[in-house]
Structure 1
Amino acid sequence: MQTLQKVGLFTFTWAATIGSVAATPSGKDGILPELSQATTPVTLMAATDPATGKSEFRYQGNNTPPVIRVQPGSTLNVEYKNELAAQSREDCLGHPCMQMTNLHFHGLHVSPNTPQDDVLDMMASP
């Protein structure tokens, strides 16, 4: 693995609760409506906002992060795409950000077997 000086890690927090795979968009009235059941694989994307040049996550073309509910014991297949611009306009400690990202899980059982939840070696580059 190439030595990395700075790594910008994006974090997705997934909730394992009773229910189906669903996404929750932003509601104009402050209420977040539930969408209908989705099937896996779920595609998540890291992208660059063309107006601001800042990094953001996208799900189904929307920059509101999804809420995904999965029943315990279920399998969730996630396709993760890094579509960030090759050259960042954002500053990371005085230098352009490197545009690498990954998925990182909190609150779930993660296998201790390789590649598990390896935030340093499992990076997606643009």
Structure 2
Amino acid sequence: MGRKFEVESDRYEFNQSHNHLIKDLAQKMRFVSYFLIALGVLLIIGGIVSVRSGLISGIINGVLQILIGFWTTKAASSFNLIADTQGNDIENLMIALEQLRKLYTLQYWLILIALIFIAIAIITGLILGAVNVTP
């Protein structure tokens, strides 16, 4: 399922209240993940139609949504295992956190790249605006 994590005690068990909270989180994450995957598929289909116009952004966005949905599904499954099994709560928690780390690492880099492109666009707009000043 994933890498093994070293923990001090593999036998820790969350109590019933914790398991209920974790299971509720997992169910909501799973719903969001299915929505994102479906959205990604629709964006890819729309992107394929737009390719005739020379646009591929829909395909790229669709693939990203599917990746985010996929990692969210994996994390949800690991969170669900915490509530449904005994004896591996900490290991399942660590696997779920690893999947969330992947998800947020992807979003982190996408935001940084978007900010760089926005800065380039603003600087380019300012430069071109200053050059194309007509009296």
| TM value normalised by structure 2 | 0.20
Considering fraction of residues, name the structure with more strand: 1
